Copies of this chain bind each other. A is one copy, B any other.
Amino acid sequence: MSKPLILVSNDDGISAKGVHELIKSLQHLGEVVCVCPESPQSGMGMALTVNSPLRVKKLEDYHGAAMYQVSGTPVDCVKIAVDNLLSRKPDIVVSGINHGSNAAINVVYSGTMGAAFEGCAYGIPSIGFSLTSHDEDADFTPCLPVVDKLVKAVLEKGMPEGVCLNVNMPANVAEYSEMRVVRGCKGKWNDRYEEYHDPAHRPFYWLAGNFVNEEPDNHDTDEWCLANGIVSIVPVLLERTYPLLDEFKWIPNEL
């Protein structure tokens, strides 16, 4: 039996420490091919390049993994890998390890999760991993047993159709003792654009803000786990249809 084919991507770009650590931790589990954006793509969600072309550059192998950089988004990376670069459909898509949390509402804006959702759209079991630290030189050592255990489990068990995993790991924990399957926490970004002026006195704006947890006392959420040193695993849906269509009987049919 051939070794599993593992497609790795991320949104911090191919030079980020997080993806290098991920590749090292995956190399013993199968054949690893890494296809990542050439530049940081944080916050790109499921953005897809449709109105311009992509460039692809093959780099030197890294710890046995073939390395490609793509001038696009995380979704573009997974698409061009599956459609054109890989010799067969990968057995799993692993995205990350992201520098920064993708818990709660962040999952919808996350490029890391964009790559995982795109794997899911191809029917490939997919996982996105994130560490809750934006430090470029963050210590990913505690993450490696989580990656190992989950990737092995998913390679063995597969995933329900249209579902992938959003895994977040709390920073500043020397060794995790637990991971839990939980739901995404309810909460909002309390944000505001700061106004600046350029040297020509023209205004520009930069997004600033903080996440407000709307249910800090509920123990079954990803944010609660992260606040308590526990790794959170949220199974997330690619599907968007609201299941209770009968609630919309007030919409008229006639025009």
Chain A residues in the interface with B (C-beta under 8 A):
40, 42-51, 53-56, 73, 75-76, 79-80, 83-84, 105, 107-109, 114, 117, 121-122, 145-146, 149-150, 153, 157, 160, 163, 166, 175-184, 188-189, 191-193, 195-196, 202-207, 231, 233-242, 244-245, 247-248, 250-255
Contacts and interface: CB of A to CB of B under 8 A. Distances in A.
Nearest to A54: B205
B43 A44 contact: no
24 contacts: A40-B51, A42-B50, A44-B47, A44-B48, A45-B46, A49-B207, A53-B205, A55-B205, A56-B205, A75-B109, A76-B207, A79-B193, A80-B193, A84-B195, A84-B205, A108-B121, A122-B188, A153-B252, A160-B247, A166-B240, A176-B255, A178-B254, A234-B241, A235-B242
A145 B233 CA distance: 45
Contact of A255 (B44, B75, B178, B251): B178
